[in-house]
Amino acid sequence: MPFYLFYLFLLAAGPDANQQGATQQAMLDRISAANMKGNLSFLSSDALEGRDTPSKGLDIAAEFIASRFRKAGLEPVAGDSYFQKAAYSLVTTDPADFDLILESGTDSLHVTKEFDLQSMSAIDLKAIPVVKVTGDQLGDLTGKAALLDVPGRDKFQEFQKTLRAVQNAHPVVILMLPHGSGRRALSTRLVADAGPRTEATPTISLRDSDVEKFLNANPAVTVSVHAKAAMRKPVELRNVAGILRGSDPVLRDTYVLVTAHYDHIGMLPPGEGDRINNGANDDGSGTVSVIEIAEALAQMPQHPKRSIVFMTFFGEEKGLFGSRYYAAHPFFPLKQHIAQINLEQLGRTDDNDGPQVGSATFTGFDFSDVPATFEQAGKATGVRVYKNEKSSDVFFARSDNQSLADAGVPAHTLAVAFEFPDYHKVGDEWQKIDYDNMAKVDRMVALGLLSIANSIAVPRWNADNPKTEQYRKAAAQ
C-alpha cells in the first residue's frame, strides 16, 4: 500500500489520526486470509448441510460465530447472550388439500400444481371476479381477486409498493404471476410469531404456464379457491451479534452496523451426486469477513469513538427475515444507528461480467454519502471502489441493507461480484474463494469503518436522488 495515501487518509479522518497511524496500520495487518480460509472451510462445509433456515446446520453456524465474537472480546448485546432470539413458525400447506378453478363462461382451468399459498386460515371462495392490477390504478378491489404480474429483479422494488397498496385495498385474495424467477413452488414457509395479529389477505403465486394462457384468452374470469388451514410448527431462530463499545463518552451511544447473512439455501432433494448448496461466497464470505474485521478492530488499544455492532442475520435467503426482525426489534433506538455496512459475496472474483480483482462496489452507490467514504479508504489500501452502473441500484433491495434502509438508516451492501458461476448451486464451495483478495477488500472495509466511527459528521441520504425519497422520509420520522 502506498504509505503516502494511507497517511493522507488518516489526516482526513480526524485531528488525532496522524498519531494513530501506526496503530491503525497494525490493525489492518491483522486481517488474515488464512484465518478466513479456516473459518469459511468450516462454515461452508458439508457438515452444515447448506445452513438452511431453519436447520441444525444453521444452529451450528450460529454457535460458531458467537464463539468467534467471544474470542474477539466483543461484548454480548442481548443481555449476556450473543443471540437475538426470534419466534417463528414453519407453515406447511398440503397440496392435496388445495383446489383452484379459473372459469370464464363454459371454459375452466383447474390448478393443482406449481403454486405457493400464503394463508394460515382455511379458504373457501366461490366465483370471485378477477381484476388485473396495472400500475397505480387499483380501482375498487373489495370482494374481488387482485391479479398482479410479478416482474423481474430490476423492477421488484416498485412491485413491492404496488403489492402493499393492493393489500391495503382489501381484496379477498391476491393472485400473482411470477416472471423472471427461477424459484420453485414451496409447500413450507416461515411466518413470524408476533402475538395477536390480523390475518393477512390470502396470496397465491401461480407458476403453471397454463394459467397465464387461460387469463390472456379470457377477459372476464372468476376464481374459486378451496384450501384447508395450514399446519404450524414453532421454531426459534437467532441473529448473532456482538458490540465493540465506542471510546467517546457521547458518541459511544451511536452505532455503526457491520452485517452479513449466515444462512444459505440448504440441500437439493435426494438424488445422485452433490446435493449440498454450501454457500461459501453467498454469504459465508461476508460472515467470515464480519468476524475477521471484528477481531482486528477489537485488538486496537483505543476503540473507535462510536460503537460498532457486528451482526450476522438468519433467513436472508427466505426474504430478509433476520434483518427485518432486527429493524423491528433493535438493540438500540433506530435514531442512534448512523449507518449499516452489509457484506455479501466478497470472496469470488470470477464475476459473470469479468474478473473483479482489487475492486469492490456498493448497492445504491449514489443513495447516500457512505460509499464515498469507502472510496477514500480504497485509495489508501489499493482497492478500487466504484459504481457498477448495471447492478448498483437493481440489487439494492436484494440484501439485508434494505431492512435498515426502510427504517431510515443509511444502509448499503458491499460486494465484489454481484453474479458469479455457481450462484445458488452446489458448486459454491470454499476452495473457489480468492482469500488474498478478500483480505485486501476487508482491510479497505475496516479503514472505512474507522473513518465513519471516528467522524463527528453522520452519513446522510442523498436528497438529490429521487430514489431515496422513502428512506429520507423514514429517517425524518
Q: What is the pLDDT of residue 6?
A: 52
Q: What percent of the chain has pLDDT over 90?
A: 75
Chain segment 203-212, per-residue pLDDT in tens: 998 988 899 9
Pair 301, 190 in one domain: no
**How many domains in the chain?**
2
Q: What is the pLDDT of residue 163?
A: 86
Which residues touch 359 (CB under 8 Å, ≥6 apart)?
Answer: 383, 384, 385, 386, 416
Pair 41, 115 in one domain: no
pTM: 0.88
Quick one: CA torsion of 373, 377, 380, 383, rounded to 10 degrees?
-120
Q: 264, 404, 412: which is closest to 342 by C-alpha?
A: 412
Average pLDDT, the chain: 91
Pair 80, 100 in one domain: no
Pair 271, 349 in one domain: yes
Pair 84, 204 in one domain: no
Domain boundary among 229, 254, 269: 229
Pair 342, 428 in one domain: yes
Pair 195, 245 in one domain: no
Task: Kindly state the DSSP code that residue 276 receives in the 8-state scheme.
Answer: B
Cβ of 322: how many Cβ atoms within 10 Å?
28
Pair 83, 107 in one domain: no
Instruction: Give pLDDT tens digits along the chain (477 positions).
Output: 444 345 445 544 555 556 667 889 999 999 999 999 999 999 999 999 999 999 999 999 999 999 999 999 999 998 899 999 999 999 887 777 889 999 999 999 998 777 888 888 899 999 999 999 987 677 889 999 999 988 876 676 678 788 888 988 999 999 999 875 444 555 678 888 754 444 678 999 898 889 999 999 998 999 999 998 888 899 999 999 999 999 999 999 999 999 999 999 999 999 999 999 999 999 999 999 999 999 999 999 999 999 999 999 999 999 999 999 999 999 999 999 999 999 999 999 999 999 999 999 999 999 999 999 999 999 999 999 999 999 999 999 999 999 999 999 999 999 999 999 999 999 999 999 999 999 999 999 999 999 999 999 999 999 999 999 999 999 999
Pair 165, 243 in one domain: no
Chain segment 106-123, per-residue pLDDT in tens: 999 998 777 888 888 899
- Grid coordinates representing 112 are 393443482
| φ, ψ dihedrals at 219, nearest 5° | -70, -30
Cβ of 113: how many Cβ atoms within 10 Å?
12
Domain that holds residue 454: 3-89+234-476
Q: What is the pLDDT of residue 91?
A: 87
Pair 15, 119 in one domain: no
CATH number (domain holding residue 213): 3.50.30.30
Q: What is the pLDDT of residue 470?
A: 95
Q: Is 118 helix (H, G, I), strand (E, B) or coil?
A: strand
Pair 238, 267 in one domain: yes
CATH number (domain holding residue 353): 3.40.630.10
Domain boundary among 204, 229, 254: 229
Domain boundary among 229, 254, 274: 229
